[in-house]
Chains A and B, each alone.
Chain A
Amino acid sequence: MNVVLAKNETGRALSESFAVARDRLPGGGKVAEARNTAFEAYERVGLPHRRLEEWKYTDLRALMREVLPLAAAPDAAALKQAAAAVKLQAIKGARRLVLVDGVFAPKLSELEGLEKGVTVRTLRDVLETGDAALQTQLFTPDNANPMVALNSAMMTDGVVIEIANGVVLKQPLQVIHVASGATSAAMFTRSLLRLGKDTGVTLVESYIAAEGAKAYQAHDSMIVAIGDNSRLDHVRLVEDGRDAFNISSAVITLGAHAHFNTFGMTSGAAVSRYQATITFAGEGSRVETNGVNLLNGRQHADTTLFMDHAVPHCASREVFRAVADDRGHSVFQGRIIVRPDAQKTDAKMMTRALLLSDDAEADNKPELEIFADDVTCGHGATTGALDESLLFYLRARGLSEKEAQALLIQAFVGEAIESIVNDDLRELAIAAAQRWLEARA
Chain B
Amino acid sequence: MSLLEVKDLKVRVEEREILHGLTLTVNPGEVHAIMGPNGSGKSTLSHVIAGKPGYEVTDGQILFRGEDLLEMDPDERAAKGVFLAFQYPVEIPGVATMNFLRTALNAQRKARGESEFSTPDFLKKVREVAKSLNIPQDMLKRGVNVGFSGGEKKRNEILQMALFEPAVCILDEMDSGLDIDALRIAADGVNALRSPDRAMVVITHYQRLLNYIVPDFVHVMSKGRVVKSGGKDLALELEASGYTQFEDAA
List chain A positions with a Cβ less than 8 A from chain B: 388-390, 392-401, 403-404, 407-408, 410-412, 414-415
Binary contact readout B183-226 vs A (1 if CB under 8 angstroms, 0 otherwise)? 00000000000000000000000000000000000000000000
Residues of B within 8 A of A414 (CB): 94
**Are B79 and A398 touching (Cβ within 8 A)?**
yes
**Are B94 and A412 touching (Cβ within 8 A)?**
yes
**Are A397 and B95 touching (Cβ within 8 A)?**
no
Give the docked Cα–Cα distance between A131 and B31 (Å): 85
Residues of B within 8 A of A408 (CB): 92, 95
**Are B94 and A411 touching (Cβ within 8 A)?**
yes
A-B contacts, 24 of them at CB < 8 A, read: A388-B53, A389-B90, A393-B90, A393-B92, A395-B51, A395-B75, A396-B52, A396-B74, A396-B77, A397-B75, A397-B100, A398-B75, A398-B79, A398-B104, A398-B164, A400-B75, A401-B75, A403-B75, A403-B107, A404-B75, A407-B95, A408-B95, A410-B94, A411-B95
**B interface, how many residues as a size bin?**
20 to 34
Closest 7 CB pairs of A and B: A411-B94, A398-B108, A398-B78, A397-B104, A395-B74, A398-B107, A395-B75
Q: Is the interface of A mostly helix, strand, loop or mixed?
A: helix
Give the docked Cα–Cα distance between A389 and B50 (Å): 13
CB of B160 closer than 8 Å to a CB of A: yes
**Are A407 and B100 touching (Cβ within 8 A)?**
yes
Give the docked Cα–Cα distance between A393 and B143 (Å): 14
Closest chain A residue to B144 by CB distance? A393
Closest chain B residue to A392 by CB distance? B52
Give the docked Cα–Cα distance between A401 and B164 (Å): 19
List chain B positions with a Cβ less than 8 A from chain A: 50-53, 73-75, 77-79, 84, 86, 89-90, 92-95, 99-100, 103-105, 107-108, 111, 143, 160, 164
Closest chain A residue to B104 by CB distance? A397
Residues of A within 8 A of B164 (CB): 397-398
Q: How far is the CB of B90 from chain A (nearest CB, A)?
A: 5
Contact of A394 with B104 at beta-carbon distance under 8 Å, contacts A388-B53, A399-B75, A400-B75 already known: yes
Give the docked Cα–Cα distance between A392 and B74 (Å): 8
**Are A399 and B107 touching (Cβ within 8 A)?**
yes
Residues of B within 8 A of A400 (CB): 73, 75, 107
**Residue of A404, A408, A411 with highest tally of chain B CB at under 10 A:** A411
CB-contact partner of B89 in A393, A403, A412, under 8 A: A393
Q: How far is the CB of B122 from chain A (nearest CB, A)?
A: 14
**Are A396 and B94 touching (Cβ within 8 A)?**
no
Residues of A within 8 A of B90 (CB): 389-390, 393
- Besides the contacts A393-B89, A407-B103, A408-B95, what 12 more A-B pairs have beta carbons closer than 8 Å? A388-B53, A392-B53, A394-B100, A396-B50, A396-B74, A397-B108, A398-B111, A400-B73, A407-B92, A407-B95, A407-B99, A407-B100
**Are A399 and B103 touching (Cβ within 8 A)?**
yes
Contact of A395 with B94 at beta-carbon distance under 8 Å, contacts A403-B107, A407-B100, A407-B103 already known: no
Residues of B within 8 A of A403 (CB): 75, 103, 107
CB-contact partner of B94 in A388, A389, A394, A415, under 8 A: A415
**Residue of A398, A401, A410, A415 with highest tally of chain B CB at under 10 A:** A398
